[in-house]
Amino acid sequence: MLEVREVSKHFGGLMALRKLSLHLERAEGVWGLIGPNGSGKTTLLNVICGLYRPDQGTVLFQGRRIDQLSPHQIARLGIGRTFQVAKVFRRLTVLENMLVPGFTNRETESPRQLREQALELLDFMQLSNLKDEQAGNLSGGQQKLLDFARVLMLKPKLLLLDEPFAGVHPLLKERMINRITLLHQQGIRFLVVSHDLPSVLELCSHLVVLSSGEKIAEGEPEMVRKEERVVEAYLGV
């Protein structure tokens, strides 16, 4: 599904990613990417979705090289992402926000179909009652749900979620975890970046741990949790 091969990325003298490799298989469960602040998690998502070019290394999606493509080309291939701080169009209504990615599918779907899909997804996220509200008036957690609902309009095959639980009310968090699990059962693949360990342990069946741009552990959550280097990275020696 997704292969990251020895990817490096630096900003000036700072190595944000050091020869990082990942191999995400379609058959596996939800993937989690964890690590302390500044360990390179968001940088990796930015490299995968084409916002940053890696200095070295390659990225393959379904066997095809994507690291030289632009973000919109990568989105069209089926990789969607959400942002650590939800990026909604604040002056548009919730429903209008949902229709923006619909422009990508304009050739294949009618405005009516797109509207129906948007309403269905809002219902799925329990945001229907807010559909005519300006998105800027939503709470931070609701904006994250909208960001998530909106990227689903692209019908992605793989979704990269950046800190989906950060600043989200515990009830909304639970809802988010349920939605991700359901969508995973429907065939969408997920790479979830988070430093919310309890949520990640509940949701993910495979974890990768980053520290200072390097992969320091990988495997089943229970195994990873016991790794000495992981404990050190989080708690200090």
Contact 135, 97 (CB under 8 A): yes
Strands 189-193 and 206-211, bridge-based pairing: unpaired
Phi, psi (rounded to 5 degrees) for 182: -65, -45
Q: Using the minimum distance from each CB to ligand ADP, give the nearer residue, 119 or 197.
A: 197
For ligand ADP, the binding residues (CB under 6 A) are 11, 14, 16, 35, 37-43
Q: Which of residues 35-54 bind Mg ion (CB under 5 A)?
A: 41-42
Sign of CA pseudo-dihedral 39, 209, 168, 133: positive
Q: Using the minimum distance from each CB to ligand ADP, give the nearer residue, 40 or 102.
A: 40
Q: How far is the CB of 195 from ligand ADP (least distance, A)?
A: 8
Q: How far is the CB of 212 from ligand ADP (least distance, A)?
A: 9
Q: Using the minimum distance from each CB to Mg ion, give the nearer residue, 83 or 121.
A: 83
Closest Cα to residue 54, out of 43, 42, 62?
43
By beta carbon distance, the residue nearest Mg ion is 42
Q: Using the minimum distance from each CB to ligand ADP, give the nearer residue, 46 or 117.
A: 46
Return all residues near 113 (Cβ < 8 A) that are at least 6 apart. Answer: none
Residue 47 near which of ligand ADP, Mg ion, none (CB within 5-8 Å, type-dependent)? none
